[in-house]
Amino acid sequence: MVMHFEHRGGEKLFCDFAGDTVPIWDPKTGEVNFAAQLFVSVMGASSYIFAKAFANQKAESWTAGGTAAFEYMGAVPMCVVPDNPKAVVTQAIQVRPGIQRELPGVGQAL
């Protein structure tokens, strides 16, 4: 079964941290320093992609990733569609999810 979605240009930006981590290698020793978390965002209609590595999936990384995506794309979409990020969503309820209040700029808008 396939479900077809229709997206209008500039309407939605889908974003989430990718499931697998990316190893960051030390060029001198050849050893892995740490495993980076990959923030990925995609525009729905054009499939225009942005990705950036972060040290963790905390709220600061989430907001920095979204801001960097907006700057890279040169625009802000009508709607941002996150995939239930644990750093931002405290309670996953479809009708009214719980949102972290200490995120920069989020508490004032709600």
Range of the domain at 21: 12-83
Checking if the pLDDT of 27 tops 60, the result is yes
Q: How far apart are CA 39 and CA 34, in angstroms?
A: 16
Q: Is residue 77 part of a domain?
A: yes
Does 49 map to a domain?
yes
Sign for the CA dihedral angle at 67, 71, 15, 94 comes to: positive
Domain-located, residue 90:
no
Domain count along the chain? 1
Has residue 105 been placed in a domain?
A: no
pLDDT at 106 over 50: no
Read off the pLDDT band of 14 (50, 70, 90): very high
Would residue 106 count as lying in a domain?
no
> Under a CB-based contact definition with an 8 Å cutoff, are residues 37 and 53 in contact?
yes
**Does residue 46 sit within a domain?**
yes
The angle formed by the CA atoms of residues 76, 81 and 87, to the nearest 5 degrees, is 105
The whole-number pLDDT of residue 85 equals: 72
Task: Give the per-residue pLDDT at 36.
Answer: 93
